């Protein structure tokens, strides 16, 4: 094997669907987290660094949710490569898992765990009390994530694409 092939082989992980889901989910979610800050109660004593840190931590949580959703679909599809040719059902499940996890996390965080609170401007679901801005993220970002990942790894060919 040539030195060039060794170098290329050592960077192969950059083509993994999980890596790409994590990267695009992080980028898209961070933008959303920053933009939705006015819908949460934030102390005036928080510095710009504090706000950025909180958005980054929330984004890391969002990436975890995206990866969990990805692996649920991969398990059902019996392939990690489902994002190369995603069906509507797969994208729907990917989105639904994120929505369910978000509803549970938001209920815990704004309820018994008291991690954050919504501002008066945050519209909420009547029975669940989940913030609609938070929920809207999980109706848009998964679709964009799948679209970006599909475009990014469309050139990648796998020998055993049907296997996990």
**pLDDT digit string (tens) for 72-128?**
999 999 999 999 999 999 999 999 999 999 999 999 999 999 999 999 999 999 988
**Number of Cβ atoms within 10 Å of the Cβ of 15:** 14
Alpha-carbon distance of 16 to 153, in angstroms, equals 8
Cα dist. 75→11, 72, 86, 87, 98 in Å?
Answer: 25, 5, 14, 15, 15
Tell me what pLDDT residue 14 has: 82
Instruction: From 134, 133, 155, 136, select the one nearest 144 (Cα to Cα).
Output: 136
Name the DSSP class of 25.
H
Tell me what pLDDT residue 161 has: 47
Alpha-carbon dihedral sign for residues 24, 64, 162, 144: negative
CB 35 within 8 A of CB 141: no
List pLDDT tens digits, range 122-150.
999 998 899 999 999 999 999 999 999 99
């Amino acid at each position: 094997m040539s030195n060039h092939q060794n170098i290329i082989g050592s960077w192969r992980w950059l083509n993994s669907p999980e890596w790409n889901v994590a990267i695009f989910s992080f980028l898209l979610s961070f933008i959303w987290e920053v933009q939705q800050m006015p819908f949460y109660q934030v102390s005036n004593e928080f510095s710009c660094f504090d706000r950025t840190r909180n958005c980054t931590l929330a984004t890391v949580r969002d990436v975890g949710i995206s990866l969990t959703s990805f692996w649920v679909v991969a398990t059902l599809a019996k392939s990690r490569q489902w994002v190369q040719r995603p069906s509507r059902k797969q994208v729907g499940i990917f989105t639904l898992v994120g929505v369910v996890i978000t509803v549970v996390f938001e209920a815990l965080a704004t309820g018994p765990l008291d991690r954050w609170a919504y501002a008066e401007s945050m519209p909420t679901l009547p029975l669940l009390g989940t913030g609609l801005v938070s929920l809207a993220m999980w109706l848009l970002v998964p679709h964009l994530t799948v679209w970006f990942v599909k475009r990014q790894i469309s050139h990648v060919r796998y020998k055993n694409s049907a296997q996990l």
